[in-house]
């Protein structure tokens, strides 16, 4: 394709300049081809949208369509984000701390997630970081748990959560295992802006043609796959609480249909007797559901169909990165999908019972929900002599408040939730007080099932 000839049709020189800049930065053959097709076929207004607008980094990190251009997620924007974050972390903690404590990187099963996670890992490795790279798809809460378990300076998850298949994202977790909040997001955004030129050292550890990181023998110890260790620790951390009703659970005849909606949790977890097999297979196209969000109408249709076929009255669902939990029950022949507030208050009652059996002090028990959630949790906590706090909308505020109150007042978080089906359950051991970071609806599903039993 004659790119310059195609660019000459554009009236705005600034648009031409931005397109040339992106083409010069991009080293991915596939996105180069896509960009050249757009230059030839797209309108000038469309090209301005793709190449002249830049992604804005915020508390949720980045989330956008995948594709060529500065306003999309691709090799260029992923590397720029990683360069900025690396620069910020080195200035905040120092190079030596970043080298020893390191950063953990996980990803979901979406298109390009593996490639983006390897590119991010290569970027940090090129700056001397110890990198814990989860080589297979994992659920988001495992990475948040890993930040604290491995004492990392930060964590990254390449995921667009429950968004449609065309999207991907770049979530960042602080050293406390919670999603970042202001002013950290602005500081990282500034660092990204100051690191737009791609670092050449990354090419020494990243194979562009294959999309994989590779390391020389002298750097091998700085690149670790923590997936097996973290999964074992994560599961063992909730075992004690799950076993509080072991006898009743073993005797229970409860049957539940479970679906991970094609997410990474379906790879290694079979937590119910009946699963939606079609949705237990990681699928970047989400072939059986148009919008993989348990909140959305119709998202549980396949699970409910499976339940009807097997005469089962309960359905439990996680979204693809397992930070949302949806549940439904068949009552008098009709299916009722529980709201986040309903699930929250049921879990609160069950978890309080568990903590009392564990001889925990009620005055130290902490329950948190967001301002858009029901006031039921506040009334419940106060009626039982527990501590309740309310935060702004967004799980990042909830989990950061929990971490702060735990540190400053020695309160013991029990349940965090917001009505948008985000839940965090803290177990009894000190180690598991990290599990709720990042809306751990994967572990919450297990607690919910034990509660039902």
Residue 243 lies in a domain: no
Q: Is residue 231 part of a domain?
A: no
Same domain, 155 and 259: no
Tell me the percentage of the chain whose pLDDT exceeds 90.
64
Among 10-14, 234-238, 382-386, 424-428, the least confident range: 424-428
What per-residue confidence (pLDDT) applies to 293? 79
pLDDT at position 438 is: 44
Query: What tens digit of pLDDT does each residue of 163-182 get?
Result: 889 999 999 999 999 999 99
Output the pLDDT for position 246.
64
Is the residue at 383 inside a domain? yes
Tell whether 66 and 183 lie within a shared domain. yes
Residue 214 and residue 82 share a domain: yes
| Assigned domain for 237 exists | no
CATH number for position 333: 3.40.120.10
Averaged pLDDT score across all residues of the chain: 88
The reported pLDDT for the residue numbered 264 is 59
Length of the chain in terms of residues written: 453
Residues 23 and 65 in one domain: no
56 — pLDDT class (breaks 50, 70, 90): very high
pLDDT for residue 345: 95
Q: Are residues 24 and 104 in the same domain?
A: no
- Give the chain's domain count: 4
Residue 248 counted as domain residue = no
Q: Identify the domain boundary among 305, 337, 369.
A: 337
69 with 160, same domain: the answer is yes
Phi, psi (rounded to 5 degrees) for 286: 45, 55
Contact criterion met (CB below 8 Å) for 313 and 329: yes
Please say whether the beta carbons of 418 and 398 come within 8 A.
yes
Does 306 fall in a domain?
Answer: yes
Q: Which residue has the higher pLDDT, 402 or 265?
A: 402
Q: Are 259 and 280 in contact (CB under 8 A)?
A: yes
Average pLDDT over every residue of 12-37: 96
Give Cβ neighbours of residue 2 (< 8 Å, ≥ 6 apart): none
Q: What is the pLDDT of residues 306-330, one digit of tens each?
A: 999 999 999 988 888 777 888 999 9
Work out the burial of residue 293: count CB atoms within 10 Å of its CB; fewer than 13 is exposed, 13-18 middle, 19 or more buried. Answer: buried
User: H or E segment at 171?
Assistant: strand 167-173
Q: Is residue 246 part of a domain?
A: no
Residue 212: its pLDDT value, please?
A: 96
Sign of CA dihedral 113, 78, 232, 257: negative
Query: Could you report the per-residue pLDDT of 121-143, keeping only the tens digit for each?
Result: 999 999 999 999 999 999 888 99
Q: DSSP characters for 268-285?
A: H---SSEE-HHHHS--TT
Longest dimension (CA), the chain: 76
Q: Which residues contact 177 (CB under 8 A, 6 or more apart)?
A: 144, 145, 147, 148, 155, 399, 403, 434, 437, 438
Residue 86 sits in the same domain as residue 32: no
Residue 449 pLDDT greater than 70, yes or no: no
Q: What is the reported pLDDT for 269?
A: 47
Residue where one domain finishes, among candidates 13, 30, 53: 53
Q: Which residue has the higher pLDDT, 90 or 451?
A: 90
Mean per-residue pLDDT for 343-371?
93
26-35, 69-78, 350-359, 406-415: which has the minimum mean pLDDT?
A: 350-359
Does 206 lie in the same domain as 144?
yes
Question: Among the options 71, 113, 161, 369, which is catalytic?
Answer: 161
Give 250-290 pLDDT, tens digit per residue: 666 778 888 887 775 544 444 445 556 666 777 787 777 77
pLDDT band at 404 (very low <50, low <70, confident <90, very high): very high
Q: For residue 443, give its domain range.
A: 340-452
Residue 375 and residue 310 share a domain: no
241 confidence band (pLDDT: 50, 70, 90): low
Q: What is the pLDDT of residue 432?
A: 37
Q: What is the pLDDT of residue 433?
A: 37
Phi and psi angles of residue 342, each rounded to the nearest 5 degrees, phi first: -65, -45
Are residues 95 and 21 located together in one domain of the fold? Answer: no
Does 236 fall in a domain? no
CB under 8 A, 24+ apart: contacts of 378-382: 380/345, 380/348, 380/349, 381/348
With pLDDT > 70 as the criterion, what percentage of the chain qualifies?
Answer: 87
DSSP state of 288: T
Q: Are residues 433 and 326 in the same domain?
A: no
Q: How many CB atoms lie within 10 A of CB 368?
A: 28
Q: Tell me the pLDDT tens digit for each residue of 198-214.
A: 999 999 999 999 999 99
Paired strand residues for 106: 157
Q: pLDDT digit string (tens) for 409-437? A: 999 999 999 988 888 887 654 333 334 44
What secondary structure letter does DSSP report for 57? P
Question: Is 161 noted as a catalytic residue in this protein?
Answer: yes
The rounded distance, in Å, linking the Cα atoms of 445 and 264 is 15
Same domain, 94 and 208: yes
């Amino acid at each position: 394709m004659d790119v310059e000839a195609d660019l000459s049709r554009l009236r705005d020189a600034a648009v031409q300049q931005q397109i040339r800049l992106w083409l010069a930065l991009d080293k991915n053959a596939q996105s180069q081809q896509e960009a050249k097709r757009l230059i030839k076929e797209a309108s000038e207004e469309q090209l301005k949208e793709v190449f002249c607008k830049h992604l804005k980094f915020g508390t949720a990190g980045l989330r956008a369509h995948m594709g060529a251009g500065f306003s999309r997620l691709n090799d260029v924007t992923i590397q720029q984000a990683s360069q900025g974050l690396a620069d910020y972390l080195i200035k905040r903690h120092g190079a030596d701390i970043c080298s020893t404590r390191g950063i953990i990187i996980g990803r979901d099963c979406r298109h390009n997630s593996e490639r983006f996670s390897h590119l991010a890992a290569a970027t940090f490795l090129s700056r001397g970081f110890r990198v814990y790279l989860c080589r297979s798809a994992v659920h988001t809460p495992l990475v948040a748990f890993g930040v604290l378990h491995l004492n990392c300076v930060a964590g990254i998850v390449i995921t667009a959560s429950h968004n449609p298949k065309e999207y991907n994202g770049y979530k960042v977790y602080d050293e406390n295992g919670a999603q970042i909040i202001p002013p950290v997001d602005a500081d990282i955004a500034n660092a990204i802006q100051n690191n737009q030129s791609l670092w050449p050292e990354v090419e020494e550890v990243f194979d562009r043609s294959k999309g994989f990181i590779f390391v020389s023998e002298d750097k091998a110890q700085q690149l670790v796959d923590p997936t097996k260790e973290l999964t074992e620790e994560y599961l063992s951390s909730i075992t004690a609480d799950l076993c509080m009703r072991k006898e009743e659970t073993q005797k229970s005849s409860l049957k539940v249909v479970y679906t991970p909606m094609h997410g990474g949790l379906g790879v290694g977890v079979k937590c119910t007797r009946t699963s939606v097999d079609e949705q237990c297979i990681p699928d970047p196209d989400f072939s059986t559901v148009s919008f993989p969000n348990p909140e959305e109408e119709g998202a549980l249709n396949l699970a409910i169909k499976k339940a009807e076929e097997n005469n089962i009255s309960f359905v439990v669902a996680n979204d693809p990165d397992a930070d949302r939990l949806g549940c439904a029950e068949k009552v008098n022949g009709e299916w009722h999908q529980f709201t986040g507030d309903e699930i929250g208050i049921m879990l609160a009652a069950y978890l309080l019972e568990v903590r009392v059996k564990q001889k925990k002090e009620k005055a130290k028990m902490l329950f948190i929900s967001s301002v858009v959630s029901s006031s039921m949790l506040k009334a419940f906590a106060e009626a039982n002599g527990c501590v309740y706090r309310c935060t702004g909308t967004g799980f990042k505020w909830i989990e950061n408040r929990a971490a702060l109150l735990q540190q400053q007042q020695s309160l013991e978080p029990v349940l965090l939730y917001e009505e948008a089906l985000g839940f965090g359950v803290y177990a009894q051991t000190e180690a598991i007080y990290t599990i709720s970071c990042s809306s751990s609806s994967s572990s919450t599903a297990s607690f919910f099932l034990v509660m039902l039993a």
